[in-house]
Structure 1
Amino acid sequence: MTGLGGEVDLFMRAAPEKVWDLVSDVTRIGEFSPETFEAEWTHGATGPAVGARFKGHVKRNGVGPTYWAPCTVTTCVENEVFEFAVGLDGNPLNTWGYRLTPEGDGTRVTEYFRLTPKWYLRGYWLVLGSLRGRTNERGMRTTLARMKEVVES
């Protein structure tokens, strides 16, 4: 974990194109994530593109109440990077993303998150960062392991 975020990576024996199909299709996140159990494109979006919007249905830590989180795609470079901001327009709370790096006969997939560096989020991270960071790291490892099962089968 670094600063106001963290990342996890995992090697997958699959071409970047095959991995891209999973990480950029937000409607499939429920198959992989332990916290976001469904997502859908919104505001006329039908697929990944900078500015495309979607909402994710989240159950924090896999327990407790659920909520819908609005998201906007911020970086979309096919077969390389898929990144999105979570929060209302112009006021994101954090950013999540996937970097795909060709490596030998497969792809190194890095999932990462960063909190927006606002004063109140810095305070949150100071108090709860190590706990939330560990939870996010476990969730990212689970997500990537589940994706690996799909792309390698």
Structure 2
Amino acid sequence: MKWTGVRYTDRPTVEVRTWIDAPPDRVWALVSDVGLMPGMSDELQSVEWLDGATGPALGARFVGRNRHEALGNWSTISYVVEYEAGHVFGWAVEDPADPSAVWRFRLHAGDGGTELSEWMQLGPGRSGLSEAIDRMPEKEEKIVFVRLREFERNMTVTLERIKQLAETG
């Protein structure tokens, strides 16, 4: 059977994992501090909590400002949709009922350290990627593939930076 690729409407996902030789509370302090995230990513430029929030909690909102060479500058509002202190921090980008993306950090303790995963899903709601697909529908699978690989690379770097900070205290 020939692989035909993945389409945006398939809600494709990417997940990256790493082992961190540090206790979960130290790792949690890093992943739950959205203000640190711009220093972990080349694309994310700034993040700030909205509505007086100072940290993650179900329903809390934050604005993220991004920059990408091909996509330009944009900002989004994200909503915390999954939250279990010390274990899970997930957010939906734009409309929580029809997000343009969903992101999640998950921590698992064991063997004196922490397994950290970062997961994301494209869609189902429209995004800047949807606009690129509208302009070049015949290239949808390639557009989605390239963007997923970019996310995978960026997520790998983010987890490596979190690992470095957590392990050096």
Shorter chain as denominator, the TM-score bin is: 0.7 to 0.9
Q: How much has 1:14 moved relative to structure 2?
A: 1.0
Residue number in structure 2 paired with 1:105: 112
Within-5 A mapping of 1:2-151: 4-60=12-68, 65-88=72-95, 90-117=97-124, 124=133, 126-151=141-166
| CA RMSD, 1 decimal | 2.5
Q: Deviations over 1:25-70 (max 9, x none)?
A: 1111112122112100012211110000001111126x76322211
Inter-partner Cα distance in structure 2 for 1:130 and 1:38: 26
Inter-partner Cα distance in structure 2 for 1:142 and 1:118: 26
In structure 2, give the amino acid aligned to 1:22. L
Q: How many residues align?
A: 151
Q: Which runs of 4+ in 1 moved over 6 A?
A: none
Inter-partner Cα distance in structure 2 for 1:89 and 1:111: 19
Inter-partner Cα distance in structure 1 for 2:126 and 2:150: 22
Inter-partner Cα distance in structure 2 for 1:5 and 1:127: 15
Q: Is the 8 A contact 2:17 2:116 kept in 1?
A: yes
Instruction: Determine what percentage of the aligned residue pairs are the same residue.
Output: 33
TM-score (norm 2): 0.80
- For structure 1, the residue ranges without an aligned partner over 5 or more in a row are none
Inter-partner Cα distance in structure 2 for 1:133 and 1:14: 29
In structure 2, give the amino acid aligned to 1:130. F
CA distance 1:144–1:41, shift in 2 (3 Å): same
Q: Is the 8 A contact 1:76 1:82 kept in 2?
A: yes
Q: Which has the larger radius of gyration?
A: 2
Inter-partner Cα distance in structure 2 for 1:13 and 1:51: 31
Q: Is the 8 A contact 1:34 1:143 kept in 2?
A: no
TM-score (norm 1): 0.87
- For structure 2, the residue ranges without an aligned partner over 5 or more in a row are 1-5, 134-139
Q: Deviations over 1:94-137 (max 9, x none)?
A: 1011010112121010001012335996x956342211111000
* Richer in strand (by share): 1
Question: SS where residue 99 of structure 2 aligns?
Answer: strand
